[in-house]
């Protein structure tokens, strides 16, 4: 594996940090997940399947878990020993917490000068909002996403999953890999800070850029696009929805032929994409009425025949029965110690035409404590004392 010589001390919890470390773990890194005595809070988030949280299982494979009380000096000593043998530390504590626990970058680089330390913050350590909580819902609100998603005249709409946590986690993993590469050339460690809020602004991409360049507020357009028409979903005769993406004139002609609306091709109101954007309302009303004449499957057959870009609006059961998804291997399995074989959404890239397979199921709370401590040189007597004094907890969830 690409990162099989890399060890990561993972002090993060919930989603952004765990996603970053799971990606590194998928690429071969040894991820040591450090949990507080109460465990990663997502272990208790519903729905639960035989005592295990589906949410937790989504972001923690290919990791080893040890539960350490970092408020105890003996607990911090374990971290220091781990750092000496590790390449990366990642955390998403509240501001000031790493310093109070003496596990901040300045403390750890004294132990290992070339350590790469990644801190995921809600708003950034230098922000005037530094101490404010930065849950994904709040970031979706503050990034402009909720003001530009949904339909005009309707309340703000949240994307159904924690979009910005995922994006920030991916930015963190890319930054860490870049720092690892740089270290092979310079020998230097790095301090990386990823702001969830900055990540959310960055992710707004061309929606934000359109405002910055024109000064115009984006409209809430449902599934439609501000710059391309037609580029949205339509309800079909059977009540199902179909998305179409008519991004150039060739597709526009094919689309009109598939709909048996050839007269629209030469219609000056719709002759070019700028014309169609200008006359959006007229065109969409006509197309919406037309789509009601056939079922989704009938339109799909015609769009296949005429080469029109389309995508059915799938429910999740349809997603996981799609022939591409079934054949791609994006859904895999890994053996869990109590649940048996469980499904996982695997790494979304192929390396030398092979998709990385999970090596280890998301760990139960503290299940790897003894093996990790032995690797660090602790004797059986030392380990027994750490457990009996509750510096280290080995209780399995």
**150, 141 contact by CB (below 8 A):** no
- Decide: 86 and 32 in contact? Cβ < 8 Å: yes
Task: Please say whether the beta carbons of 58 and 345 come within 8 A.
Answer: yes
Can you tell me whether residue 8 is helix, strand or coil? strand
- Kindly state the tokens that stand for 269: 């109101």
Burial class (CB in 10 A: 0-12, 13-18, 19+), 257: middle
Rounded-to-integer distance, Cα 287 and Cα 282, Å? 9
Q: Please check whether residue 240 is in contact with residue 295, taking contact to mean a CB–CB distance below 8 angstroms.
A: yes
Contacts of 61 (CB under 8 A, 6+ apart): 22, 25, 26, 334, 344, 358, 360, 361, 362
State which H helix or E strand residue 189 sits in: none
CB under 8 A, 24+ apart: contacts of 380-383: none
Q: How far apart are CA 356 and CA 6, in angstroms?
A: 16
Which helix (DSSP H) or strand (DSSP E) does residue 79 occupy?
A: helix 73-84
Cα–Cα distance list, 118 to 107, 174, 220, 304, 372 (Å): 14, 11, 36, 47, 22
State the catalytic residue, choosing from 26, 87, 165, 198.
165
Residue 318 neighbours by CB distance under 10 Å: 12
Report how far residue 197's alpha carbon sits from residue 251's, in angstroms, rounded to the nearest whole number. Answer: 37
Q: Is 50 a catalytic residue?
A: no
Please state, in angstroms and as integers, the Cα–Cα distance from residue 174 to each residue in 177, 181, 341, following that order.
5, 11, 30
CB-based burial label for 377 (10 Å; 0-12, 13-18, 19+) = exposed
Residues designated catalytic: 165
């Amino acid at each position: 594996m690409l990162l099989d010589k890399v060890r990561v001390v993972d002090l993060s919890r919930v989603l952004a940090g765990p996603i970053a470390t799971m990606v590194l773990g998928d690429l071969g890194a040894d991820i040591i997940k450090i949990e507080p005595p109460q465990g990663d809070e997502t272990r208790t988030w519903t729905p639960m399947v035989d005592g295990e949280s589906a949410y937790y299982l989504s972001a923690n494979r290919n990791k080893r878990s040890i539960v350490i009380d970092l408020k105890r000096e003996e607990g911090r000593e374990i971290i220091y020993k781990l750092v000496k043998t590790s390449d990366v530390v990642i955390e998403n504590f509240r501001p000031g917490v790493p310093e109070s626990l003496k596990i901040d970058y300045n403390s750890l680089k004294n132990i290992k000068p070339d350590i790469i330390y990644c801190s995921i913050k809600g708003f950034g350590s230098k922000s005037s909002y530094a101490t404010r909580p930065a849950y994904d819902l709040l970031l979706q609100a503050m990034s402009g996403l909720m003001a530009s998603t949904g339909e005009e005249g309707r309340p703000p709409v949240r994307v159904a999953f924690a979009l910005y946590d995922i994006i920030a986690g991916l930015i963190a993993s890319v930054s860490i890999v870049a720092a690892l590469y740089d270290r092979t050339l310079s020998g230097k460690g790095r301090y990386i800070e990823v702001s969830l809020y900055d990540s959310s602004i960055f992710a707004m991409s061309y929606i934000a850029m359109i405002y910055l360049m024109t000064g115009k507020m984006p409209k809430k357009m449902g599934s439609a696009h501000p710059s391309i028409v037609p580029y949205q979903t339509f309800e079909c005769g059977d009540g199902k929805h179909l998305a179409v993406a008519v991004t150039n004139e060739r597709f526009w002609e094919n689309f009109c032929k598939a709909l048996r609306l050839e007269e629209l091709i030469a219609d000056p109101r719709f002759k070019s994409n700028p014309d169609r954007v200008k006359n959006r309302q007229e065109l969409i009303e006509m197309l919406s009425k037309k789509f009601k004449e056939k079922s989704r499957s009938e339109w799909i057959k015609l769009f296949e025949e005429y080469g029109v870009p389309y995508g059915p609006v799938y429910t999740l059961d349809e997603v996981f029965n799609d022939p591409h998804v079934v054949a791609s291997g994006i859904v895999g399995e890994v053996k869990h110690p109590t649940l048996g074989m469980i499904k996982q959404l695997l790494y979304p890239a192929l390396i030398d035409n092979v998709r990385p397979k999970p090596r280890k199921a998301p760990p139960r709370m503290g299940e790897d404590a003894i093996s990790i401590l032995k690797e660090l040189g602790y004797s059986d007597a030392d380990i027994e004392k750490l457990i009996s004094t509750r510096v280290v907890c080995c209780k399995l969830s």
